[in-house]
Amino acid sequence: MPMFPLLPSLPDYVELHCISNFTFLTGASHPGELIERAFQLGYSGLALTDECSVAGTARAHHALKTLREEAREAARAAELALKESALKESASKAGNDDGNDNDAAWEACNWHLARAAAADAFNLVIGSRFTLTADAMAATPMPPPRLVILARNREGFGNLSEMITLGRRRAEKGSYLLYPSDFSQPAPEQAHLRGMPDCLVLLLPDYCPDPGALRAQVDWCRETFGDRVSIALELLQGHAEALHRARLQQVSDDTGMPLVAAGAVTMHVRSRKPLADVLAAIRVGQPLQACGHVLAPNAEAHLRMRQVLSRLYPREALERTVAIADQCDFSLGTLRYEYPEELVPDGLTPIEYLRQEVSAGMRERFPYGMEPAWERQLEEELLLIEEKQYEPFFLTVHDIVRFARGKGILCQGRGSAANSLVCFCLHITEVSPAQANLLFGRFLSRERDEPPDIDVDFEHQRREEVIQYIYGKYGRHRAALAASLISYRSRSALRDVGRALGIDATVVEQVVKSQAWWDSGRAFMEKLEHFGLDPEAPAVQQWASLTEQLRGFPRHLSQHVGGFVIARHKLSRLVPIENAAMADRSVIQWDKDDLESLGLLKVDVLALGMLTAIRRALAMVPNPNPDLPPGQADRPCRMEDLPEEDPATYDMICKADTVGVFQIESRAQQSMLPRLQPRQYYDLVVEVAIVRPGPIQGGMVHPYLERREALRERQQMPAYFNDVIRRVLGRTLGVPIFQEQVMQLAIDAAGFTPGQADQLRRSMAAWRRHGNLRKHQDALMSALVARGYPESFAQALCRQIEGFGEYGFPESHSASFAKLVYVSAWIKCHHPDAFLCALLNSQPMGFYSPSQLVQDARRHGVITLPADVTCSSWESTLEARRPGRQYRDVRLGLDRVKGMREAAAHRIEAARAIEPFTSVEDLARRAALDAHDIDVLAAADALAGLAGNRRQARWQARAAALQSAHRDLLHAAPPDEEALELPVPRLGEDVAADYASLGLSLKSHPLTLLRERLAAMKYVTAAQLNRTANGRMVRACGIVTVRQRPSTASGTIFMSVEDETGPINVIVWPSLVESQRKEVLGAALVGVIGTWQRQGDVKHLVAKELVDLSPLLGRLMVGSRDFH
């Protein structure tokens, strides 16, 4: 066993200047790698000092926390082993045992105890590095200094965070701007930051600095920061290091400012030097051979052994690192979130106001009273919320939702929050306890010392109103979005490393395009020969190696999809804030994982396209509620007005006729629907959850389907071990589908507390990463067996629990989504015209393109009319129902026209409302359209009502544009000449132009034009396939609309292709994926030769061979939507 390094002859050391890869494209190691390596080398601590950032500190904090936990666990195990060894030694004394085993146990125990003690003592110092910019306010001229600032305590961290915020908010995203005067003579509103109280400072001199310039910097530092400054002595074995050291020592002696050792660390081990060079090349946008002095001259900027440091640095400079670190006792674990309080009216406490609002909502939700069990749960929730002091959090979310509903913005909470009756009564969530099994412990428990998570979906087109409401109410100094960490993935890493290594750009792009997201490094090497590269060549080997190292490295911070952090006071004293790329947005420097690890609260204000589509569709349909109060018969339709458990809707769902329907439109869901046969709301709850990795990996899908089929066809009920199992699993026929069921089993069957059950749930979610599920499984099995359950039952349950580690839906989340499934399906079933119109106006969203949605609606009897300046609005609209037609026609909006500007469309509408247009020139003149506007309208054939065919329209558009340009000269004089008659374009030409301009064509499906050629090639249509017997070898083709590669499908790809008669579902096994990768990933029009399989309503074509027919499309290259 390697001994933990205990080297008393060497001075202790703390690295005080160290950046991670959160100094983007500079640092070459993850924060966790730096922590682990520093601890391994016997350092007493490490300061993480990224450039004007603390973005990596939460990762470092978590890494140190994990290291300490593992060290303590190992020490406990070693102590237990020592006790067992001592017992064995006692038992074997009569046999004259030599005791070597016990000596080894003592040695191991002491080693682990020492290691655990060292881990507990290891000091993570929080700091940041700053390169200042010269300003005119400096009292004396000096080169702008570079500083490392370290937080001594909580106040110091607040000051550091504010200074980072000041620099970041002052500059564009990705940069910062700070002046010496910000520290020495700050503006009045930052006066408390003068001299950075409660912080320590390192001055980072230039290499071999001018002594006079360095003295000026030292004098400024001393005047600004007092005696809290040291000069960093960084010895990296440069070419003139003796001179550098001598000059720093001389200035230190002359000024009395002490030297402190530092390493300017950018990587945890020297082997990362090639990656550091590549990062530098990427940063400056040059190949390595052109980077010159941008690259570090050697690999010394790594965490070096203490023996090496003791030979390089004076002992006092090393010892000073520990003296400085000892003054820094701040830990991120001490951060405490303070909730906003202004929502609570004067005279009320937070819990009193929360109870008041919950009671009001309860009377609305349960006008005839609540069941006693629900009343007890509600009271238990309120008591726990009060105990945890989370009332302001619930009130904050309640206020945001109330604002949205007041503005007519559709919203709905989801996730674990839907387990809460408090959330239901506050109208945050919509899942009633009568509709799903609510387990509050999944949302909040006494044992879990972290805030609850409430996710609320808002209409995606109106969410910005909610975001700006939050900014307006709390101010940008108190509210900001969480960050989203954008990291290198395979393709981006391949591209950037290839460019940095100087590999031919054409080759790089070919390789990148061939790389699928699931490809391993080995697969990458195997493909290189196809591009004329030798996999054994050193440059190619280096490309592969560096790409693999770069994958997972952070590239930049983006904004989270909607996670807001709102503070009682200045948020910038809790975490730095910087500008987002989007105007009027600001983000903090930590992402959602960082916030969770630190126990900090966020409110998720998420965007959901289906809510937009539902709100739009309901506005177009008559209210079906027959029980509306008098005088409200014309009230706009709401979700709660729809009839429950509508048979026609479920008939449609069972046939998998679900294109465009929320959550059940994917290939996997459409394959499941005919087998599961949903007939009520809870069936949809199961349907949403069951096509997920958790139930699939846990082997739950087939048992559930078999039991459901037995119940449906033979009225055969499943057998349950006892009433406890029946109560927990009865609704899912004895098969655990949801996380809450596993937790409830642990509580009811194994005697776990809600907090212990939640720990089991959390370990399920993390066991693939941390492997800490076994101890919970063992405890669960022991408890179940002790209570009389068969061991086989306990083992089966544990196997299913492991499946949830892949990804299991909470029942509350499924229940929330199932409501939207039913509503969107009801609209599609009864009002497919409104459904299509709403989906078109809610793009982008969902699996299917507008072209596919229009094709599907046509199969349901809905006619779509072209965009036309004589009658189209900006958005698509429903026209008056024509006699004899079941549905209204959908008129495409001008927003479908590529390049059309909304303001121009509104001018067209306004001018048309006064008087119809008489010509293209009249349109251009009265709607003030320029050449661009008229040209894009002509390209989309939207001038047909005024000019005839597309060629005619383009001719007249050019004439109108010319007249528009010279309007002042011509005074709108009509031309005195006959219009030129141009021939009508061929249908194929028109269809190609439609796709280029609109992304769809109403004139013809592309394959209608190719059908004669395709028939000669023996390709049948989708309609013919549906009449084909099971097991037949067939040839079919279609435009690829969707590609899916689910993580649970072991490499299988599911494709949806479409011809003029309908869709075809194609299964491509992994072996074919690899042998025909080009066709699988790149074909726009694909021919499929394979076996037709059908079982009831489940139909698919299993591919044996693929043919890329894309060249037949010519200019009709239609894109697919690819998912994984």
- Partners of residue 557 on adjacent β-strands: 485
Largest CA distance in the chain: 126
Helices of type H across 551-661: 592-598, 609-618, 647-654
Per-residue model confidence as pLDDT tens digits over 453-497: 788 999 999 999 999 999 999 998 899 999 999 999 988 999 999
CA dist 534 and 796 (Å) reads 49
CA dist 844 and 895 (Å) reads 12
Specify the pLDDT at position 809.
65
CA dist 928 and 933 (Å) reads 9
CA dist 462 and 469 (Å) reads 11
Q: How far is CA 696 from CA 702, 801, 1052, in A?
A: 9, 11, 15
CA dist 240 and 230 (Å) reads 22
Which among 940, 952, 945 is positioned nearest to 912, based on CA atoms?
945
Q: What distance lies between CA 564 and its chain's CA centroid?
A: 14
Backbone phi, then psi, for 994, in 5-degree steps? -60, -50
Percent helix, strand, coil in the chain (nearest 5)? 50, 15, 35
> 3-class SS at 722?
coil
> 3-class SS at 1108?
strand
Specify the pLDDT at position 1049.
60
CA dist 416 and 525 (Å) reads 43
CA dist 979 and 447 (Å) reads 82
Cα-Cα-Cα-Cα dihedral of 707, 708, 710, 715, to 10°? 120
Specify the pLDDT at position 58.
95
Give the number of C-alpha atoms closer than 13 A to the C-alpha of residue 676, restricted to the C-beta side.
Answer: 29
Which among 68, 104, 66 is positioned nearest to 84, based on CA atoms?
104
pTM: 0.84
Specify the pLDDT at position 768.
46
Q: What is the CA radius of gyration of the chain?
A: 34
CA dist 547 and 549 (Å) reads 5
CA dist 522 and 452 (Å) reads 42
Specify the pLDDT at position 273.
98
* Beta strand pairing call for 1121-1123 and 1033-1044: parallel
CA dist 520 and 1051 (Å) reads 12
Backbone phi, then psi, for 1064, in 5-degree steps? -130, 130
CA dist 395 and 341 (Å) reads 9
| Phi-psi label, residue 170: left if phi above 0, alpha if psi -120 to 50, beta otherwise | alpha
Question: DSSP string spanning 140-161?
Answer: S--PPPEEEEEE-SHHHHHHHH
Specify the pLDDT at position 673.
92
Q: Tell me the residue length of the chain.
A: 1124
Which among 422, 428, 354, 427 is positioned nearest to 392, based on CA atoms?
354
Q: Are 36 and 332 in contact (CB under 8 A)?
A: no
Q: Which long-range contacts (CB under 8 A, 24 or more apart) does 305-314 make?
A: 305/41, 306/5, 306/7, 306/10, 306/11, 306/13, 306/41, 306/42, 306/43, 307/7, 307/10, 309/13, 309/261, 309/263, 310/10, 310/11, 312/235, 312/237, 313/233, 313/235, 313/261, 314/259, 314/261
> Domains in the chain, ordered, with CATH?
124-332 (3.20.20.140), 639-822 (no CATH), 847-998 (no CATH), 1006-1123 (2.40.50.140)
* Beta strand pairing call for 554-566 and 479-487: antiparallel
> 3-class SS at 405?
helix
Q: Which amino acid, one-letter code, is at 291?
A: C
Q: How many CB atoms lie within 10 A of CB 312?
A: 18
Name the one residue in this structure whose structure tokens are 């009502």: 945
Specify the pLDDT at position 1124.
47
Burial profile 850-860: b = 16 or more Cβ within 10 angstroms, e = fewer? bbbbbbbbeeb
Q: Are 639 and 614 in contact (CB under 8 A)?
A: yes
- Partners of residue 14 on adjacent β-strands: 45
The two tokens of residue 8 are 């008393």
Specify the pLDDT at position 850.
92
Residue segments in the chain with a per-residue pLDDT below the cut of 50: 1-7, 767-771, 969-972, 1123-1124
Burial class, 872, CB count within 10 angstroms (exposed 0-12 / middle 13-18 / buried 19+) = buried
- Partners of residue 455 on adjacent β-strands: 414, 604
Question: DSSP string spanning 189-214?
Answer: GGGGGTT-TTEEEEEEPPSS--HHHH
